[in-house]
Amino acid sequence: MEYDAVTGWDDDATAEAYAAFARAHPMYSASSRDLAARASLADSRRIVDLCGGTGTTAEAILALAPPNATVVSLDSSAAMQRLGRRLLDDSRLTWVNAPAEELAEYVPARSVDVVLCNSALWKTDVAAVVTAVRRVLRPGGRFVFNIGGAFAGVTHPDAQIPPPGPSLSGLIEQIAARDYGIVPPTAAVPAKLPLSVVTGLLADAGLHVVATEVTGQRTTIAERAAWLSIPVFAHPEGALSHEQKMAILAEATAQTVLDDFTITSWLVVVAELLEAV
């Protein structure tokens, strides 16, 4: 089976692997808590967790939201939400199985205090999502999200320091080239969502950027290897089977020190709807 990091989430094996990773490693829980802390949730009554998956971000939201708040976790993957319902039981939480672009069809207009989106915005039709977010936010409502550094074209200063040992991704590329003749692309890929593009899309929808920050998250080789074992993230991309990719990953990981780490960069954005549009 071919897994795709954009469309391949509605799969039970992927959902189970993702949820197991999120329980064992801090990548998604830490970024979720970071977004929730920036969102001023203490005075929020209706909150949306956009592209909420199995509920990792919803859990961070619920920890800070008031007792009378309602939280909507919206995701297009039924498999992710089936697992999320088993893992997270809170009367304030409602699950909606729908694409992010259709948010405004499921949430009343001008009723939402905060929309959060963790580690997913670049997988959507961003212009359509921003328009939908604008429709559901009340005046003064906030849209808080992050974008992976490669997609935003940003690098945290700590990420510029060379890692102490070999790169796991580099080793995977070497093994794939040696054993399967797969040569990685050499042309630089332009950033899909630099801040200038994001700011323009938000402004077109009447949302004003009030804060941005490039953050760095420490990621060990062990965590990176576990992340790459999730079917939708397995490398190298292309025609190899998942079993072949896992064999490459195992060989590459064996040549590393699991406690070595790199810094993963993120662009974090807080935007606000200043007035009804």
Q: Distance of alpha carbon 257 from its chain centroid, rounded? A: 26
Provide the pLDDT for residue 3: 54
Beta carbons of 57 and 19 less than 8 angstroms apart = no
The predicted model scores a pTM of 0.94
pLDDT greater than 60 at residue 47: yes
The pLDDT tens digits of the residues spanning 103-155 come to 999 999 999 999 999 999 999 999 999 999 999 999 999 999 999 999 999 99
What confidence category does residue 168 fall into, taking pLDDT thresholds of 50, 70 and 90?
very high
Provide the pLDDT for residue 128: 98
Cα separation of 68 and 188, whole Å? 49
User: Average pLDDT over the chain, rounded to whole?
Assistant: 93
Provide the pLDDT for residue 6: 63
Q: How far separated are the first and last CA of the chain, in Å rounded?
A: 45
198 Cβ partners below 8 Å, 6+ apart? 126, 147, 152, 209, 267, 269
Share of the chain above pLDDT 90, in %: 86
Provide the pLDDT for residue 274: 85
